[in-house]
Chains A and B, each alone.
Chain A
Amino acid sequence: MNEVAVKIPLPKISANGFHPSVDTPLVIETRGLKKTYFGKVNIPVLFGIDLQIRQQEFVAIIGQSGSGKSTLLNILGALDVPTEGKVLINGVDISTLADDELAILRSDEVGFIFQAHYLLNEFTCLENTLMPITIRHGEADEEQTARVLNLLERVGLTDQINKHPDEMSGGQNQRCAIVRSLANSPKIILADEPTGNLDRTSGEEVFALMREMNRESGVAFVMITHDDRLAQQADRILLIEDGNVIEMSKAEHKHKFETV
């Protein structure tokens, strides 16, 4: 198995992480975002979230189960619609977009990584990683394929490209899913507990890869995690509590999780 840790170059930024200036373009902005699930009992989940995420930022979202982290992430990725408030992706209010335009937005601007890898079993690793390009263009051209092959090499999957997901390990599949999320060179990657299903070593490896891609390509990452050690390695930490978002400094967070 190809489970050797991938070598990661040292970050060029300080140990405190990347701190964008006000000139760094906003990739995600939310204004007064509210979400209520309507049913027999109406369940309010988000109570007015104002959020700004800039290019190249790596943001960790933490919070209790059921606090609304995944709901927020789905709304940011245009998979779900807010009850109130606005989401701007690269300055575009996504509530103004039609179904097909939203599909194009998801394809071109946003990449998703989930807790389960969600690779398609009928396709090989390479075909899975090319899928966003295939959806968008019908078929990947040579240049696109070369770029994806290069990414696969970077995550150490070159010798796995013709294998199907059920022939690879959990860590390999999640690395494959990372490459897939990057296939269309999006501006934002939304990751919902990407290491949640992995053992500690594989989890750290996958996280290190995401961090590396973030630094190299400048793609912003919004990652939900329950792993406080990983959250410590992000640029910013956002705590979702009682439907509100609280910006935590790393020191606050460290203090909190060390005392718990």
Chain B
Amino acid sequence: MMNSLIQLLITALIPRSRRFEFQVAMRHLLSGGWQTLMTISAVTTGVIIVIFITSLIFGLQANISKLLTDSIPHITIKVADPKPKTLQDLHDPAISSGRIEQQAPQLKLIDNWEQVVSTASKLPNVKAVSALVSGQGFASKGANPMGVSVIGADPVLQDMVTPVTSDLIAGKYQGLGSDEIVIDSQLAKDLNVSVGERIRLNSSIGVSESLNVVGIYSSGRGRGSVYITLRNGQSFFGYGTSVNAIYVKVYDIYDVENLSKTLMALVPYEARPWTADFGSFLTNMQVMGASAYLISAFSLIASAFSIAAVLIVSVLQKSQQIGILKSMGAKQTQILRIFVFEGLGVAIFGSGLGAILGTAIVFLLGLLTRTSTQIGKPPDRLFPVQILPKYIAAAIVAAVVTTVIAAVLPARRAAKLNPVDVMR
């Protein structure tokens, strides 16, 4: 039954002129016992390691990136800080001090923000653009005022740039009204308020408002900002119809530097990419990626060596048989192909098994959980693994290529054996 099935497959898949080599290779593998199992398990182990390492490291990388870049804008558009001026620029003979002083902070507003938003939105890689006002204020309920950072923005756009709704543990953010506010769970605890209660918010310029708490969120990243509407924010900080920052969210977070240069060429403001503030983070991510590739390469090389070792032994054991086959008219290329087919057989079975087992291990690891750092949220995954079909396919291809290379070396030796020498 099994044999006739194999026969059917051979007839369907292998051209007649190659069936001799294929048959011999298959018989070698089937009769190889522990040797075949050893080589197959070497390939399997290699592929499992590659799948495991890539899914773990790239999963971890994606997780950390998401954790960080979800909470920050990828590009922040602001009015540039004025550069310090030298004495020559001032042309004032009365000034004789050699001290160079940074100009005093001044109100830095973007008046034509609607125009900037529409320009930025049209650029490639841009996912969302949100204009907002941000500043400092004090929140209080009764006696104790707490310092908070205040963000006034359109809830729909804000959710696209630095999501709030997904972190909510009570109430709502979308549909925020002019006398409503969303606060973070830490502040809610400190002020001892819950959804539906009112708090007082005082701005740094002395504006005071009583706002209704409609949502409480927890991001798991320390104390967060409080959110009010854009219109509310503008009047709260006395900005009129202007904003003081525009946040840009992109699709590819590692390709923001060119985008920020393009933006600066188009608008008269500073466009600061997130990588400018998190340089070491970026380097660490790249090192993580590189180490995943290195570990994968080393494990594949290690399995290639063990395959080559087993195949060299196999060639030595089979040298007499090779002599017989050559005495019956087998050509060098045919002998070479036998061992390449053997290598291919091992590679295909081994990497297939490795892909299945590797994916299963990654899947099972992904089911393990730990308590969430975000209050009131479902538990987080213990291993932030990702099943990445791209790397599974790459692992299979790499395993097949290295195995065949490992097989060719002893095969060339086998093909050159002189029948008279091995049949004595």
**Interface residues in chain A, defined as those with a beta carbon under 8 Å from any beta carbon in chain B:** 74, 77, 79-80, 99-100, 103-108, 112, 114, 118, 120-123, 131-132, 134-139, 180, 184
Contact = CB atoms under 8 A, between A and B. Distances in A.
Contacts of B28: 122
Q: Which of A74, A107, A112, A122 has the most chain B CB within a 10 Å cutoff?
A: A122
B329 A103 contact: yes
A132 B328 contact: yes
A63 to B, nearest CB: 18
A139 B16 contact: yes
Contact of A135 (B31, B332, B334, B423): B334
A135 B324 CA distance: 11
A137 B16 contact: yes
B20 interface: yes
Contact of B20 (A80, A100, A122, A135): A135
A107 B324 contact: no
Nearest to B324: A118
Contact of A112 (B320, B321, B328): B328
Interface residues of B, number: 29
A80 B326 CA distance: 12
Given A106-B329, A118-B320, A79 B419 contact: yes
B27 interface: yes
B66 interface: no
B420 interface: yes
Contact of A106 (B19, B328, B423): B328
Contacts of A79: 326-327, 418-420
B12 to A, nearest CB: 13
Given A79-B327, A122-B24, 18 more contacts: A74-B420, A79-B418, A80-B418, A99-B331, A99-B332, A103-B330, A104-B329, A106-B328, A106-B329, A118-B423, A122-B30, A123-B27, A132-B329, A135-B328, A135-B330, A137-B17, A138-B18, A184-B329
Contacts of B30: 122
A120 B23 CA distance: 12
A103 B15 CA distance: 21
A99 B328 CA distance: 13
Q: Is the interface of A mostly helix, strand, loop or mixed?
A: helix
B68 interface: no
B325 interface: yes
A29 B330 CA distance: 24
The 4 closest A-B pairs by CB, nearest first: A107-B329, A122-B27, A138-B16, A103-B331
Contacts of B329: 103-108, 132, 135-136, 184
Contacts of A104: 329
B19 A134 contact: yes
Contacts of A136: 329
Interface in B1-34: 15-20, 23-24, 27-28, 30-31
Contacts of B330: 103, 135
Given A120-B321, A139-B16, A77 B327 contact: yes
B317 to A, nearest CB: 11
18 contacts: A79-B326, A80-B420, A99-B332, A100-B333, A103-B326, A103-B332, A106-B328, A107-B329, A108-B329, A120-B27, A120-B321, A122-B24, A122-B28, A135-B329, A138-B18, A138-B19, A138-B20, A139-B20
A139 B420 contact: no
Contacts of B325: 131, 135
